[in-house]
Amino acid sequence: MAEPHVPQKSPYAVELAPGDYFWCACGGSKRQPFCDGTHKGGPFTPVKFTVAEAQKVWLCGCKHTGKQPLCDGTHQKI
C-alpha cells in the first residue's frame, strides 16, 4: 500500500468559516492542508468535510491520522 508524503509532523491550526472543504490525503498539495488536485492519477483521494459554524480546527499534517482530517496525535509516533 502506498504511503502519503508527510508535509509536516504537526497539525495545521486553521480558522474556518462555515462551508465544505477538501483535506489533502496524499501530502503532495502545495496548498496544505487542503487539496489542490496533486493526487490525480495516484492512490489517494481528498477527504471532504463540512464546517457548520466558524471555528478553529487542527487538521492532520502527517497524513497518518486515524480521524481524517483531524489530528489525533499520530505524528508523535512517526
Alpha carbons 49 and 71: distance in angstroms, whole number: 14
In sequence order, which residues have a C-beta less than 8 Å from that of residue 69 and are 6 or more positions away? 21, 23, 33, 47, 49, 59, 60
Cell output for 20: 465544505
Report residue 18 as a C-alpha cell.
Answer: 462555515
Residue 69: strand, helix, or coil: coil
Per-residue pLDDT tens, the chain, 78 aa: give them: 689 999 999 999 999 999 999 999 999 999 999 999 999 999 999 999 999 999 999 999 999 999 999 999 999 998
C-alpha cell read off for 71: 489530528
Q: What is the pLDDT of residue 1?
A: 67
- pLDDT of res. 8: 97
CA distance 47 to 21: 8
